[in-house]
Amino acid sequence: MYEPKEKQFKPRKFLKLAEKLIDDGKYEEPARIRTVVGRAYYASHLFVKERMKQAGWRIPDDHTVHNFVIDELLDNEISNIGSMLDKVYEKRRIADYYMDTPLKLAEGKLCVQIAQEIIDFIEQFPLKKK
Amino acid sequence: MSNLIDELTAEIQTSNSSYSSEEIANQIVSLVENDILPSAIDRIRLPRLPSPIDLRREHFKIERRRGKKDVDELENRVKFVQELGKLKRDYYFSDLTSVSFQAVDAKDFSQKPFFYDTKYLERKKDRKLTETEVILPKLEPKSFSDVSEREVEKPHELVTIDLGVSKKIFSDPNFERAIASVESRIREKFRNVPDISFNISLRQGIDEYTREKTIIHIKIPNSNFKEKMNYWLRIDFEVRNAIKAAGFEEADRKAINRNLVTHIESI
């Protein structure tokens, strides 16, 4: 069952949560950073994916969607955003799967800022398929 | 029909008859090239260019509203200012503009320009330096009583390349061409940025283990987030242009672009 568009969950809300959480001392730092990186990535990934769909891209509905979105950005001369998303994607992978790789607070903050930058850029310059 | 240099040569020769007209003409050319032109270029005041991110925004705006012709005009204007700036810099730093590089470190195969081949002092706390070992910093004369204050930190390498990348360079000619073009562009455009350094490494594809991505890690430790973002945008732009300029077939260029990303580091 689908929600009407206006009721759909907005990916930006993930970013708001990440922004609040990153400095919230109530939670243990390593867990906080890993959660923040994940939310920052999904906020930017889902935002870009949604805008791609609106611009006419056919988006795969499986695990290949992550690389698909980055590749399309790199192909369509929006490579700066492709590189940014790849950076946050890489950190999100570490945050969720590599417990032996530490993540610093600065990296968590950088991911939040990059995610915001991606969303702002796409908002200002809507995607166009070449 | 005589031109200005002929007239000038004839004029000078009337009072310097012992010199041939060719000798006088050579002296005039040398005077113009070595004294007049550099100081004229040095005195040109260039308009201030907007930041790379603002420029890129302007580019998109003009492209949408007015079309390709106006974008070309903007690009030509920016290029002209940049070329004049480069000319100014080349004259001013004429002894630093060598484009020759040498492979220096067998460990990581990194390269550095010849002019970096200066003897630098490593900081050693327990030994005081002798006067002759000290490199005096320009424009900052200090008391001779505390020599340790005048030590010069060893500069970082501008571009370092991981072993995996070096191996791939040997086995993949397209990759070699792309990396060479990117590295040259980075050195040309960013060698004067203080504290910036680049490391090129390979990473296995995320969720696609057969794929290998080249990552250009950018470190600018003493910059704030906005400055880092501006540099990142500019660097990514230059990297893609360098790949374009390397003259690949469209399909090869696309494949290289898809598998090469730039990453800014948090430190």
Instruction: Please check the confidence at residue B39 and state whether its pLDDT lies above 90.
Output: no
Element (H, E) at B263: strand B260-264
Assess contact for B243 and B180: CB atoms under 8 A: no
Position B91 scores a pLDDT of 60
Chain A positions in Cβ-Cβ contact with residue B212 (cut-off 8 Å): none
Hey, what's the torsion of the CAs at A41, A47, A48, A54, to 10 degrees? 160
pTM of the model: 0.62
C-alpha distances in Å from residue B91, one per residue of B36, B73, B88, B95, B236: 12, 27, 5, 9, 28
Which fold is adopted by the domain A10-124? Four Helix Bundle (Hemerythrin (Met), subunit A) (1.20.120)
CA neighbours closer than 13 Å in the CB half-sphere of residue A87: 28
* Per-residue tokens: A83: 């590189």
Q: Which residues of chain A are within 8 Å of residue B224 when distances are taken between CB atoms?
A: none
Mean pLDDT of chain B: 75
**By CA distance, what is A63's nearest residue in B?**
B207
Q: Which residue has the higher pLDDT, A55 or B222?
A: A55
* B246 within 8 A of B181, measured Cβ to Cβ: yes
Distances (CA, A) of B5 to B1, B2, B25, B35, B258: 12, 8, 7, 17, 55
Angle between helices B225-245 and A105-124 (to 10 degrees): 60
A90/B266 touch (CB, cutoff 8 Å), yes or no = no
Of B208, B232, B266, the CB nearest to A106: B266
Domain coordinates in residue numbering, chain A: 10-124
pLDDT at site B146: 42
Count of other CB atoms within 10 angstroms of residue A65? 15
Q: Where are the domains of chain B?
A: 4-43, 52-93, 101-110+155-264
SS3 (DSSP) at B13: helix
pLDDT digit of tens for each residue in chain A (130 aa)? Answer: 677 777 889 999 999 999 999 999 999 999 999 999 999 999 999 999 999 999 999 999 999 999 999 999 998 889 999 999 999 999 999 999 999 999 999 999 999 999 999 999 999 999 988 7
